[in-house]
Amino acid sequence: MAGWDVHTHLIPPTVLSAAHRGEFGLSIDHGSLVVGKERLPLGKLADPAALLQWIDEQQLDGAVVSVPPGLFRYDLGVEWAELVNQGLRELATPRLRVLGQLPLLDPAAPAVAASLAGEGVFSGFAIGTPSYSGLEPVWQVLDAVEAFTLIHPGHSDDERLESFYLTNLLGNPYETGLAAASLVFADVPGRFPGIRFCLCHGGGVTAALAGRWQRGIDTARPGISPLSLPVAAALRRFYVDDLVHDAAVLELVSATFGADRVLAGSDWPFPMGSSAVSAARAVAAEELTRPLAKEVVAR
């Protein structure tokens, strides 16, 4: 039994080349890619052969690759997305499936999504956790092509998280839960059922808060509009990876999203990832993450 790891990361070679040229505010310093205040150690992140070795060690068919979240950089628009996507094309092989970069907050994002979906190269898209306000045209395209759409948390701006590595230990799960809540309360899963959203890290805090969210709906809390689906049903339209580091939490995640919606995800090669993947949960990603090859016109 083999399958796919849906949550792995590589830095595209075009980004590394741009860093060596000092473009896009990037640089290389002491073996790290410097992106603003963030430093991404190169090593395995810049080595597709190391990821292929991981695939062999885990006896998988392959891995689904997205850029590290520090490279989403939505403020840089289409030019940055083009650079990243060209590098992802260069990484794509039968054993490495790639998730495209969208200039998510740029008006061109729907057209970029439609174009990438028709190439037959990208297996979907990876998006961060900025505000999702105004993204209806993007959701329309992703719905039309039934895109696998990995939601990976970005850096939280809460300064209280700077101690004890809480930016990752607490900030990342919170950011993922915030993204899920934004989608649920905007009725995106109900209105765009074709999008195959996949939440990283078991959905973050989502499973623990699902009942509270429904209580907010039931008691008509301010700012909540009627939804086409109750929270429990909406969450059953998401996929999640299984990277929660706790068997009891994995049981909760499986009960909340459905055991068949929990996929193998390692977060390779980051230290907060997993040292092994579940073969059974890796198999489920085979059909979900096949390269898209569907033409659609953005509205």
Q: Is position 111 within any domain?
A: yes
Partners of 39 in the beta sheet? 34
Q: Is position 118 within any domain?
A: yes
Alpha carbon distance, N-terminus to C-terminus of the chain? 42
Q: Is position 225 within any domain?
A: yes
pLDDT at residue 133, rounded to an integer: 94
pTM: 0.96
Report the percent of the chain where pLDDT is more than 70.
Answer: 99
Using pLDDT thresholds of 50, 70 and 90, give the confidence band for residue 298: confident
CATH number, domain containing residue 83: 3.20.20.140
Q: Which structure tokens are listed for 74?
A: 């939505």
pLDDT at residue 172, rounded to an integer: 96
Q: Is position 299 within any domain?
A: no
155, 129 in Cβ contact below 8 A?
no
Q: What is the mean pLDDT of residues 134-155?
A: 96
For 100, the domain range is: 4-11+48-289
DSSP for the chain, written as a single string = ---EEEEEE---HHHHHHHHTT-TTEEEETTEEEETTEEEE-GGGG-HHHHHHHHHHTT-SEEEEE--GGG--GGGHHHHHHHHHHHHHHH-BTTEEEEEE--TTSTTHHHHHHHHHTSS-EEEEEE--S--TT-HHHHHHHHHTT-EEEE-------GGGGGGGHHHHTHHHHHHHHHHHHHHHTTHHHH-TT-EEEESGGGTTHHHHHHHHHHHHHTT-TTPPP-SS-HHHHHTT-EEE---S-HHHHHHHHHHH-GGGEE----BTSTTS-SS--HHHHHTHHHHTSPP-------
pLDDT at residue 295, rounded to an integer: 77
Q: What is the pLDDT of residues 169-220, one digit of tens each?
A: 999 999 999 999 999 999 999 999 999 999 999 999 999 999 999 999 999 9
Q: What is the pLDDT of residues 146-176, one digit of tens each?
A: 999 999 999 888 999 999 999 999 999 999 9
298, 111 in Cβ contact below 8 A?
yes
Q: Is position 36 within any domain?
A: no
Choose the weakest-confidence range: 226-235, 241-250, 278-287: 278-287
Q: Is position 204 within any domain?
A: yes
How many domains in the chain?
Answer: 1
Q: Is position 193 within any domain?
A: yes
Q: What is the dihedral of CA 179, 184, 187, 192, to 10 degrees?
A: 70
Q: Is position 16 within any domain?
A: no
**Does residue 234 register a pLDDT over 60?**
yes
**Does residue 1 register a pLDDT over 70?**
no
Q: What is the pLDDT of residues 15-68, one digit of tens each?
A: 999 999 999 999 999 999 999 888 999 999 999 999 999 999 999 999 999 999
